[in-house]
């Protein structure tokens, strides 16, 4: 493999481009789109070793195609598809979240939150969660980024109310009509309540996980949201994200960290634009 071989390969490529130009362009576009989505899935899940391996494989295939007269472009296509299939198999849940984030409810009309109001909202939510925990009142709050399927929102009642501990506790009061469903928070607003969420169907879940926990696991498996759950039986507060319980027995500090991640990392950034 020397420079002459490489230049000859490039020359041969352009000679055949006139007759196979459309095919080459379509293959290049397909490769680029496929590579982008695979890379994005790996990056979101912080699987940096797989990113290096995947990128190296693509570069190797590119050089093999450039320097060899016997390797057709279809070989590169097959390798990319095989690698993509492997990634999609490993991260099928994460792929669902990425697709929902990019395709669903993207109108970006979420209420903005000023930096001065964030601390007050966080305090109100923590107060409500701790009060419900003390009284063994079950609750499920979803911190949404407008990336939930419309059928989830439509299954409940639109409230569009300001966040306060009194309002949250009133919604989840055991005799209230909306207490069994999930509350959807978007920015500074309680957007909807009484919403029904997809339940996690895994047989490996602990028996003590009731319908609220299964709903929290289900919705965080298909959307990039955070769910806060108060157990009706024990009063234990759990933080659920990415289809897993990230923190059980969450205290005020844990809740503040979770809520700060939601508000400070995303919403206040929009308010400053």
Distance CA 239, CA 21 (A): 53
What does DSSP assign to residue 20?
H
Q: Which residues of 123-141 are buried (b: 16+ CB within 10 A; e: fewer)?
A: ebbbbbbbbbbeeebbbbb
pLDDT at position 23 is 62
Extract the runs of DSSP E, i.e. beta strands, from the chain: 139-143, 157-162, 182-186, 189-195, 226-230, 237-241, 244-247
- Is the CA virtual torsion 79, 82, 86, 88 positive or negative? positive
List domains and CATH numbers for the chain: 3-90 (no CATH), 115-271 (3.40.1700.10)
Distance CA 89, CA 224 (A): 19
pLDDT at position 271 is 42
Per-residue pLDDT of the chain (273 residues; tens, 9 = 90+): 456 665 666 566 555 555 555 666 666 676 777 777 767 666 665 556 666 776 776 677 666 665 555 545 555 555 666 666 666 655 555 555 555 555 444 444 555 566 668 889 999 999 999 999 999 999 999 998 877 878 888 899 999 999 999 999 999 999 899 999 999 999 889 999 999 998 887 767 777 678 899 999 999 888 889 999 999 999 999 999 988 899 999 999 999 999 998 887 654 444 444
Contact 123, 256 (CB under 8 A): no
């Amino acid at each position: 493999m020397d420079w002459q071989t490489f230049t000859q390969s490039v020359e041969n490529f352009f000679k055949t481009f006139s007759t196979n130009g459309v095919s080459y362009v379509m293959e290049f576009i397909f490769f680029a789109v496929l590579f982008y989505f695979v890379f994005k899935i790996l990056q979101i899940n912080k699987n940096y070793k797989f990113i290096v391996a995947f990128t190296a494989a693509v570069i190797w295939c590119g050089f093999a195609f450039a320097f060899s007269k016997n390797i057709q472009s279809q070989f590169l296509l097959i390798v990319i598809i095989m690698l993509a299939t492997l990634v999609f198999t490993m991260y099928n849940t994460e792929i669902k979240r990425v697709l929902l984030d990019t395709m669903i409810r993207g109108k970006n009309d979420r209420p903005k939150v000023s930096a001065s109001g964030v601390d007050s909202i966080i305090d109100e939510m923590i107060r409500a969660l701790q009060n419900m925990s003390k009284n063994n009142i079950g609750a499920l709050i979803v911190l949404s980024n407008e990336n939930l399927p419309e059928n989830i929102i439509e299954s409940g009642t639109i409230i569009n109310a300001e966040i306060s501990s009194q309002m949250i506790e009133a919604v989840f009061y055991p005799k209230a009509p909306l207490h069994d469903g999930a509350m959807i928070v978007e920015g500074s607003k309680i957007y909807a309540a009484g919403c029904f969420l997809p339940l996690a169907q895994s047989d490996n879940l602990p028996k003590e996980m009731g319908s609220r926990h299964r709903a929290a696991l289900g919705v965080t498996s298909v959307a990039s949201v955070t769910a806060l759950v108060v157990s009706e039986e024990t009063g234990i507060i759990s933080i659920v994200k990415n289809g897993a319980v990230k923190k059980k027995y969450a205290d005020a500090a844990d809740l503040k960290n979770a809520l700060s991640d939601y508000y400070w990392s995303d919403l206040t950034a929009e308010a400053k634009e």
